[in-house]
Amino acid sequence: MKTIFTVCALLLTFATQAQEAGAEFYGEARKAEGRSEWSKAESLYGKAIKENPENASYYYSRGNLNMLLGRDAKAKTDIDKAVELAPADPKMQLLKAQYFIYNELPDSAMLYVLNAEEQELNVKLKSQAEIARGDVYRLLKDYEKAVVHYENGLATDTANVEALENIALSLYQLGDQKQAAHYLQELLKVNPYIMDTYINVGYIYARIGMFLESLSYSEEALKYDPHQPIALANIAYAQYRMESYDEAMKAVTTSLKNNPTNPFALKTRALILLATDGNIKKVCKDLQKSKKMGYDVLYDDGEVDALIEQHCQ
């Protein structure tokens, strides 16, 4: 009997030490991730997993990191393992849903959202499930439902960066551009260091006729990257709408130098040429290239098709 107790005690001690060692590596990995030291974080998560290969949270964290970094195969392996180890944990199910959302597979994502909702959810996880539903409906282009679920999720998770951006994009698709800009401004309050948000706000303000505001936000984006082609295209469009054609052409020329296939910049240059040069051959070349580069898919406003029909037939 004494021998049995001794063996059990040794096993317990060994398990505790392994868990503590894994936890130490895990804690360091979290800190490294917070400092944007991605490779170091991934390595430390790997050490934690090696010490404690049955801990679903370690796979969850490494899988989430690799998913955000676009390392799809690595992410899938870890996320699948996390779900396998803790199938009743809704957090794992929601991460798998997020993986499918990132890969634009809304039907598969919804299956895992439903799996998560079958479990008992705390307030934070309920919010995550609502936001995941919003993501699914956004991918399905049911923007009205997407907005409802984003609003439900943001009611408690008010600082969720992705949800704030995605509800803005959904509202923009619904034509509610002012409310879209409002949510992007809320996003900037949460994190004023996101270049893409300044770009999106600049674009939306240009489209709703608030050109000075558009210029202001687009110029903020250029502080992060002076060569950012989309921000430069936003500036060009706002300047075009303000009839500052020389400044507009200067900005759009730089934008296309940095990214010759930017469909919005190509359309903007065509508009500037129509207003100034009048060279229809150049105009139509830009419009056709804009269409070829996916303008209709990205913006879905019919403007390039209308311009081609008007000037290039």
Q: Quick check: is 6 in a domain?
A: no
Domain for residue 14, yes or no?
Answer: no
How many domains, in total, are found in the chain?
A: 3
Q: Do 209 and 169 sit in the same domain of this protein?
A: no
User: Which residues, other chains included, contact 105 with Cβ-Cβ below 8 Å and sequence gap of 6+?
Assistant: none
159 and 223 part of one domain: no
Whether residue 246 is contained in a domain is answered as: yes
- The residue among 160, 187, 182 whose CA lies nearest residue 171 is 182
Confidence (pTM)? 0.69
Q: Give yes or no: residues 30 and 123 share one domain.
A: no
Task: Name the domain boundary from 51, 86, 121.
Answer: 86
- 143 in any annotated domain: yes
Please identify, among 146, 166, 192, the residue that sits at the C-terminal boundary of a domain: 192
| DSSP secondary structure letter of residue 71 | -
Q: Which residue has the tokens 């930017």?
A: 262
How far apart CA 144 and CA 125 sit, in angstroms, is 22
Q: Which two tokens stand for residue 134?
A: 């919003």
Same domain, 183 and 78: no
> Does 146 share its domain with 48?
no
Whether residues 307 and 206 share a domain: the answer is yes
Would 98 be classed as within a structural domain? Answer: no
Q: Residue type for 120, please? A: E
Kindly state the helix (H) or strand (E) to which residue 100 belongs, with its residue range: helix 90-102
At 38, which CATH number? 1.25.40.10
Helix ranges (DSSP H) in 35-121: 38-51, 56-68, 72-85, 90-102, 106-117
Angle between helices 143-154 and 161-173 (to 10 degrees): 150
DSSP string, 250-300: HHHHHHHHH-TT-HHHHHHHHHHHHHTT--HHHHHHHHHHHHHTTHHHHH-
The letter for the amino acid at 5 is F
Domain assignment present for residue 93? The answer is: no
Spatial distance between the Cα atoms of 155 and 152, rounded to a whole number of angstroms: 5
Range of the domain at 210: 195-313
Evaluate whether 25 touches 51 at the Cβ level (below 8 Å).
yes
Q: Residues 200, 165: one domain?
A: no
Instruction: Identify whether residues 179 and 219 lie together within a single domain.
Output: no
Task: Give residue for tokens 């995550």.
Answer: 128
CB neighbours of 24 closer than 8 A, spacing ≥ 6? 48
Domain termination residue (choose one: 171, 192, 213)? 192
Same domain, 267 and 155: no
- Same domain for 157 and 47: no
Residue type, 52: N
Regarding whether 202 and 172 lie in a shared domain, the answer is: no
Binned average pLDDT, 10 residues per bin, the chain of 313 residues: 43 46 88 88 93 94 90 93 95 95 94 95 95 96 96 93 88 88 86 82 82 92 92 95 96 95 94 91 94 82 89 88
Same domain? For 260 and 245 the reply is yes
User: Is 7 inside a domain boundary?
Assistant: no
Does residue 80 lie in a domain region? yes
